A and B are shown apart, each in its own frame.
Chain A
């Protein structure tokens, strides 16, 4: 019990800060997820099964979907690279950095980036790499690995973050979360503006359209994919869905499972680099598709773990993760893995070596809370058992590595006995006899701690006579049947939930949109087109605003910019980070999630909804749609084609937010802290 893994476990259990942080994580995340599931438009189990089927079919036909995806992505203008392993993936990134003579890299969250250790390689090549997700930034400052795939700084409490910011950034010591968050905003804003390259991960690739879907809450994902002149997206090759319809299904489950949100604040759909006439967006977009063991894993008995959509729900649900946290999940040599928790205990051995990481799967009570929490219904306990059995050839009769020798020999003896009723009965009699010698007066055996069991538990003394003996001796009493009154027949519980949004009338759509947006901390005001200038001016004057970034005249209700200028407001049509307000239109609004749909394009600056502190959007009532699914449907059918065609499309659900410090919601990280929507009556 003195190996590195057990030492890490001991250390984690003895750390009161970590224990408090992990308790907070489990309690808040589990209840947030349950609440969010309650708002699903359909029955959760039905949706999970559908999502499972989509992922299973994708992984089964991965070569086909990859081919389709790559062809579409290239047609969209992405430069696609394939990397067989971590070294190749890193080489691709280094080569791009060299060609572009890059010095500064702004990075948003990418678990594949952690996996291939791209930061280390870039830094070794003399580049500066800055993590821009608040949690990632904190762990980068501390020189740690992320402790959770969604909440990197889950292991820290606010005072520890304050201490880190004090030591590394010279800030006055504070544990006030908004102060810490705004300090990070200020510092990282400079990085976004100066970076030569932005590196992001990818949540989903859509095969039919070549779309990259990236989900973030703080806005850093939009920043690094919009502001630097080169964007490199790192993507595990399994992260595909066949269609936009499938993407809608995944997006209904991923944010709910990950953070308890109906939709993350920013869902970006990226199709290509900046197009002619567009004011912002990178000149080049690269996509690096990383294999790094996934092809082999796909052929192994652990293939089902490739269905994972990296929501982190299994980590939050896991009672073992709750006790030991992400940093305790180490190899036999003490190396960490980017993937901790239940899914990591399968993925890490599958990708990085059974010999090294196989031991992680043994640290599970197989309680199944992970499977229950998984939005794509991965049978994690089954896969953990397969890792325990060696992960590869499950038919082997030899012992897999990682079984403690004493346990292996003890079980060998036990199983030898269990194959023969006579031997089994003899063994029972022997244990009954010897346990009476050990504990003649008590019904309990006090075993020493080294046995494992005796660490915190006593063992009931085996019975003097086993059930077998009692039965054979006719000592088991028998009863006659009891005539019970018949219970009333139970009602069938499988009531079908009705869709809550399909066929919503316009008034309902407006009401729902307003409600959802206000839940997210945004505001919606209904007005007639004629009253819009007055309403807008009132809002600007209340904030003493003299200038704003705006979409072009032809992208907004006619006359509105003229009216603002007449009133003395300066209107800018270039990405200026000093301006406090951005004014945009919107292609559509999504009632179910309070979401604005903003495509890039000529006259539609992406930065206007990203750089300023206040985002004002003008939305026509007739552009409201009930659901994301409906938007995607119309994107295919033609009426909302920009969803599929824009070089970048932002789905914005309320103000920028984070909960990276102690799960405490903080509004306004990198993106706007205020979202005001004017809903125009037709």
Chain B
């Protein structure tokens, strides 16, 4: 029987990039699973959590836990920091709450980031994608350091037919997004983004692939403002090309 996964599309993809959400669905289906989309989902609560507003973050996290509690199977999230929020942030948020902690743990245990789910859970690296051109890869911070996911997206990209994967210098350096940080400390955030954009330019690839909607929004926002031709794309968008 085909396995069903629950897609948590995340607030940014839902609102800004529904087309990436569609690519995620296509790729997951090509990888052989059925995709369900729990309707009540909104946001994981990360913005308030990162802002230090835990009193505000908890009810939003509880809402998310409740939405997915009514479903079965793995929860797949196409954004590293949101997956990290549920896997680690929720445990911190409910550390002293005997009622919600086990429920948060249960959700954390079945939550996967998109590339991690494909490679580690489904053991799929080739989804039949074809993309003609140069690509580089930006290691999103929460994905890399909080979830330890790095070889998975690289393996998926390596299997894309005709794609030429080039090195992004200092790929593991932060792009300067950091959620609320980007609005609270725009000067520092922008200085970091300038460094990232220079490295993207130096890579020679017109597209830089990421697995985090936050990084994509930040990098593209900067590239567009600066009038640069390069763009950041989500891994699913590349894997959806055939």
Residues of A that sit less than 8 Å from B by CB: 6, 9-10, 13, 319-320, 323-324, 362-369, 371-372, 381-382, 385, 387-390, 394-400, 402-404, 407-408, 411-412, 414-415, 417-421, 424, 428, 431-432, 444, 446, 449, 451-453, 455-460, 462-463, 465-472, 476-482, 484-485, 487
Contact = CB atoms under 8 A, between A and B. Distances in A.
A75 to B, nearest CB: 42
B37 A471 contact: yes
A438 to B, nearest CB: 15
A263 B57 CA distance: 46
B224 A455 contact: no
Contacts of A408: 51, 53
Given A418-B45, A482-B128, 7 more contacts: A363-B188, A452-B184, A467-B18, A469-B18, A477-B26, A478-B35, A479-B29
The DSSP consensus for interface residues of chain B is: helix
A458 B195 CA distance: 17
B49 interface: yes
Interface in B48-72: 48-60, 63
B225 A467 contact: no
Contact of B47 (A323, A411, A431, A472): A411
A459 B63 contact: no
Looking at B18, B21, B178, B220, the one whose CB has the most chain A CB atoms below 10 A away is B18
B187 A411 contact: no
Interface in B174-196: 174, 176-195
Interface in B1-51: 9, 11, 13-19, 21-22, 25-27, 29-32, 35, 37, 39-43, 45, 47-51
Contacts of B177: 365
B51 A388 contact: yes
A10 B186 CA distance: 10
Contact of B54 (A372, A394, A421, A472): A394
Contacts, number: 257
Nearest to A368: B145
A372 B145 contact: yes
Nearest to A486: B123
Given A363-B188, A418-B60, A449-B186, A385 B25 contact: no
Nearest to A457: B221
A407 B179 CA distance: 12
A372 B173 CA distance: 12
Interface of B: 9, 11, 13-19, 21-22, 25-27, 29-32, 35, 37, 39-43, 45, 47-60, 63, 88, 92, 95-96, 123-128, 141-142, 144-146, 155, 159, 172-174, 176-195, 217-218, 220-222, 224-226
A460 B127 CA distance: 29
Contacts of B43: 414-415, 418, 424
Contacts of A365: 141, 174, 176-178, 181-182, 189, 192
B47 A414 contact: yes
Contacts of A478: 25-26, 29, 35
Contact of B29 (A6, A394, A451, A480): A480
Contacts of B14: 428, 466-468
Nearest to A395: B96
A462 B11 CA distance: 11
19 contacts: A13-B191, A319-B176, A320-B192, A362-B181, A366-B179, A385-B52, A415-B59, A419-B60, A456-B186, A457-B190, A460-B221, A462-B16, A463-B15, A466-B15, A477-B22, A479-B26, A480-B29, A482-B31, A484-B128
Nearest to A449: B186
Contacts of B221: 453, 457-460
A319 B41 CA distance: 34
B154 to A, nearest CB: 12
A457 B51 contact: no
Contacts of B49: 385
Nearest to A469: B18
Contact of B92 (A363, A382, A387): A382
A464 to B, nearest CB: 9
A476 B183 contact: no
Contacts of B124: 484
A366 B143 CA distance: 12
Contacts of B56: 411-412, 415
A367 B11 contact: no
A403 B181 contact: no
Given A365-B189, A458-B224, A463 B52 contact: no
A324 B185 CA distance: 11
Contacts of A418: 11, 42-43, 45, 60, 63
Contact of A324 (B22, B155, B188): B188
